[in-house]
Amino acid sequence: MTQKISNPKTEVPTGPAMNDRDFINDLVATEKYMTSSYSIAMNEASHAQFYKEIQQIANESQDCQRDLFNMMFKKGWYSFDAAQPDQLKQESSQFSGYKEQLPTTQTH
């Protein structure tokens, strides 16, 4: 049986009008889009100071997204399935295998 990791759900009004959960969910989606866009902008920045400015804004946007996510989790609007120990071991083995396939750098 899968164990859920969550907080108690809060009451969310139903109907066509947007509620707090809808607004916060929209903000989370926007912040995710913005952090992705800032990452692309940093990859394309040719000036060091411009890169640093974008990086600072990207970090602030990422922190904002995380704060919104934490708020939604605290209110019970997000939940997760607890990972089973066997599943963790399998995932770890899979990624260890990927690591073995990477080219190694040799220093002379």
105, part of any domain: no
73, part of any domain: yes
Domain that holds residue 40: 18-99
φ/ψ of residue 79, rounded to 5? -145, 165
Whole-model pTM: value is 0.64
- pLDDT (0 to 100) of residue 14: 74
Maximum alpha-carbon separation in the chain: 68
Per cent of the chain over pLDDT 90 is: 46
Number of domains in the chain: 1
5, part of any domain: no
φ/ψ of residue 63, rounded to 5? -65, -40
87, part of any domain: yes
Are the CB atoms for 34 and 57 separated by under 8 Å? no
11, part of any domain: no
3, part of any domain: no
23, part of any domain: yes
65, part of any domain: yes
- pLDDT (0 to 100) of residue 107: 54
